[in-house]
Amino acid sequence: MKKIICLAILLAALGSQLSWAIPDFLGATEYSASGQVSATNAYVCSIVFTDIGGTAGDKVQVLNSTTSSGSSEITLTAATANATITQTYNPCVLFTTGIYVKFTGTGTFAADIQYTNTL
């Protein structure tokens, strides 16, 4: 019985070392309109995209830019009306220029973006 308890404790401790989670210091910031998120290089670690009253095909793009003219590094597209999409990235996605969020579609949008300038 002692061996089983020791093994369970070892596996629990090992599992906590091997699991990955978004760092606690990364608080999500919510954006409801297209605009600049970061003016410098940064890492995006997760996005929750909510499209209320929208239609399938509405999307949010996260651009490697400080303006709406940059290249899209991440695109999340609603598959259905009133969609919510949660996406995490391991490792976090590096944006070398800055971060700009751009919404396209008919819904009322929200994007909670967790990002940091250092890892």
What pLDDT is attached to residue 39? Answer: 95
Q: Which two tokens stand for residue 5?
A: 């308890």
| Contacts (Cβ under 8 Å, ≥6 apart) of 27 | 114
Domains of the chain: 24-116 (2.60.120)
What pLDDT is attached to residue 70? Answer: 86
pTM of the model: 0.77
Amino acid identity at 48: V
What parts of the chain have a pLDDT lower than 70? 1-27
